[in-house]
Amino acid sequence: MSANHNPAGQRRPKGPVHVGCASGFWGDSQIAIPQLLTAEKLDYIVFDYLAETTMSLLQRARMRSPELGYATDFVSVLRPHLKTLLERGVRLVSNAGGLNPEACRDAILAYAREQGLAPRIAVVTGDDVTALQAEFTDAQGRHLPDLDGFGPLLSANAYLGAYPIVQALALDADIVITGRAVDSACALAVAIHEFDWTASDYDKLAQASLAGHLIECGPQATGGLFTDWETVPDWANIGYPIVVLDRDGGFDLTKPPATGGLVSRATVAEQLLYEIGDPSAYELPDVICDLRQVCIRETGPDRVRVEGARGRAPSTRYKITATGHAGYQIGIMMAIRGQRARAKALRTADELLRRTRRLLAANGMPDYISTVVELLGAEAMYGGNARENDSREVILRIAASHAERRGLEFLQKESASAGTSMGPGTRSHFGGRADIQAIIKTGSFYIAKQCVPIWLDCGDVHAEVAVPDNGEDRPVAAPGTQPAAAPAPAGANSVRVPLARLAYARSGDKGDDSNIGVIARREAYWPVLLRELTAERVREYFSHLVQGEVSRFELPGTGAVNFVLRRALGGGGSSSLRSDPLGKSYAQMLLDLEIPCPGEILQ
């Protein structure tokens, strides 16, 4: 233990607890920690690294080197600031452990020893449930011992909750490292530890979980990805979020002084809807949250107050993210310029795929599993909603998957020949041949909490963690529906306007599903969204991308609707061949949809 280490009883904050977030994903900026350290008050910093796609990337890394499998960014961004953080008593909580939490801890300790420091680090393990495959179930609770054709497992990790972290903080850890845990658990654990909440303080748990959800993606809550991006100043120094948690569960959201970005009702509301499903049943391991009546109020420059989340008992199960090998993929890009570039690019793709299919057959190999051709710059993702565009410059992207690596080597090599044997104005590659990569697909399953032992290592403590036994099993929530009584018709004086004039929007992903949250810009526009922006209309607009159903859910407290688009991402994550496998552009696409609006409320 370092000489400047203070006992927990002497450093527990008095009153509100200030929690900053320094990472929203593996690969986030290195500017966050120095920013947060300029805040007048800062008690904790949380770091989120583990998106579903990240688990696939970590699995690839571990396949190459068994000592990897954790978010190496956490170690590198921490190194220059570790001494300052320890001196100030700022405690760190992170899920950077990924598939190898112990290796992450050891890497930090190695750097700490170089600086003469000895931080107390706690490691939470037990989320690896690969060996418990026979206990997996689907969303309806049916056992899937063969994973319903998912294939051999590479990894399977349960989304753990806050209580293992709570116990680590009670052991006076300076740094807590977990494997797979829900993104919001880091902030929730801080609140439970600091305020001594019980496992049945559901409304408080829901509020702190919402705080964690809002900051888990870093500056996405402070102006990043905001619909009205022109109004957000200084992206170069965008401020990372800080939540000020109160004992009663309410909280403020703000950012460090003299930083860029924007904290407003709209920026925070967009992040509220990011990657949620049914807002009445946002399921977490420690609480099920009802976000329908959440209220966001601006209380000062770059500061909002968030209240109104409600909670109820969690389920008796953990969600699992599993990864498996599903063949190989390649993505090739080339520039096509000149007259009729769009048509020329499409023909180039067709001819290359025809040529390589002949080569596959000649070598006794099967056809591609799937292929995708996209013209970047010609609105390829928009399908039938694309505007007429005969650009003189496009980027042709050809993506393909095959059961064998060798099956993609023909396309990898032959694509270069387009520069001499196909259309004029073709640059046939960018920076050399494209890489062939293993497809690590992800799947979601469930497992009973009682089947998953969780372990905590901190100093000389190695103990199994007791998780509250307060779960309740409820029927799976029904899909969202339209209002029972539709609002009044638009009227004869209606004007067709782009949705962007009436609303903000943000989209994200969960596996192969996408969600699009739409928030009314003004209270008067809310009835228009309810009337015109139906699930059927959104399904039709995205019919070229969505293979499943579309459901709509309402959030009256925020004046918002949330759409869940099933089977909308071509497999999603690292297994999709699309240029947008995470649905990040879907909200932007929907904002161009024109809907009728009463002319008088537009004045």
- pLDDT for residue 3: 35
In the three-class reduction of DSSP (H, G, I as helix; E, B as strand; rest coil), residue 79 is classed as helix
In this structure, the answer to whether residues 416 and 287 fall within a common structural domain is no
**CA–CA gap between residue 275 and residue 508 (Å, rounded):** 5
Mean pLDDT score of the chain, rounded to an integer? 92
Residue 436 backbone dihedrals phi, psi, to 5 degrees: -95, 130
Residues 35 and 159 in one domain: yes
175 and 291, same domain (yes or no) = yes
Q: Report residue 368 CA to chain centroid gap.
A: 30
Residue from 93, 225, 137, 181 nearest 582 by CA: 225
Whether residue 591 is contained in a domain is answered as: yes
Residue at a domain's end among 298, 321, 344: 321
Whether residues 46 and 151 fall in one domain: yes
Between the two ends of the chain, the Cα-to-Cα distance in Å is: 65
3-class SS of residue 276: coil
d(CA 514, CA 408): 29
Same domain, 243 and 359: no
Per-residue confidence (pLDDT) for residue 176, from 0 to 100: 98
Residue 403 is which amino acid?
A: A
**Cα-based distances in Å from 24 to 161, 241, 247, 275, 339:** 18, 10, 25, 14, 43
Which residue positions in the chain have pLDDT lower than 50?
1-10, 476, 478-479, 482-485, 488
Same domain for 386 and 311?
no
Same domain, 297 and 430: no
What count of other Cβ atoms lies within 10 Å of the Cβ of residue 544? 11
Q: Is residue 470 part of a domain?
A: no
Farthest-apart Cα atoms in the chain, separation: 76
Domain-located, residue 578? yes
pLDDT at 86: 98
Q: Are residues 525 and 566 in the same domain?
A: yes
In a domain, residue 474? The reply is no
Pairing of strands 153-158, 175-178: unpaired
Beta strands in 449-570 (DSSP E): 455-458, 461-464, 494-498, 503-510, 513-520, 550-555, 560-565
**Long-range contacts formed by 380-383: CB under 8 A, 24+ apart:** 380/579, 381/545, 381/578, 381/579, 381/580, 381/585, 381/589, 382/589, 383/543, 383/544, 383/545
* 74 and 159 within one domain: yes
Q: What is the pLDDT of residue 15?
A: 84
Q: Give the structural domain span for 519.
A: 494-601
356 with 298, same domain: the answer is no
Residues 339 and 430 in one domain: yes
426 in a structural domain: yes
Per-residue pLDDT, 67: 84
- Is residue 460 included in any domain, yes or no? no
Residue 108 lies in a domain: yes
SS3 content of the chain, % helix, strand, coil (to 5): 30, 25, 40
Please state the length of the chain.
603
Q: What is the DSSP letter of 299?
A: E
Task: Give the end of a domain, one of 291, 321, 351.
Answer: 321
Q: What is the pLDDT of residue 482?
A: 46
Instruction: State how many domains the chain has.
Output: 3
Same domain (yes/no): 145, 25: yes
How far is residue 150 from each of residues 133, 258, 368, 384, 510, measured CA to CA in Å?
A: 11, 50, 19, 33, 17
The CA distance from 275 to 283, in Å, is 12
Q: Is residue 129 within 8 Å of residue 293, measured between CB atoms?
A: no
Tokens (6 digits) for 41: 């008050």
Question: Per the structure block, which two tokens stand in for 206?
Answer: 């829901």
Q: Which of 415, 437, 459 is the last residue of a domain?
A: 437
Measured distance CA(426)–CA(25) in Å, rounded: 36
Helices marked H in 142-278 — which ranges?
A: 163-170, 185-195, 202-215, 265-272
C-alpha closest to that of 37 among 259, 346, 361: 259
Q: Is residue 270 part of a domain?
A: no
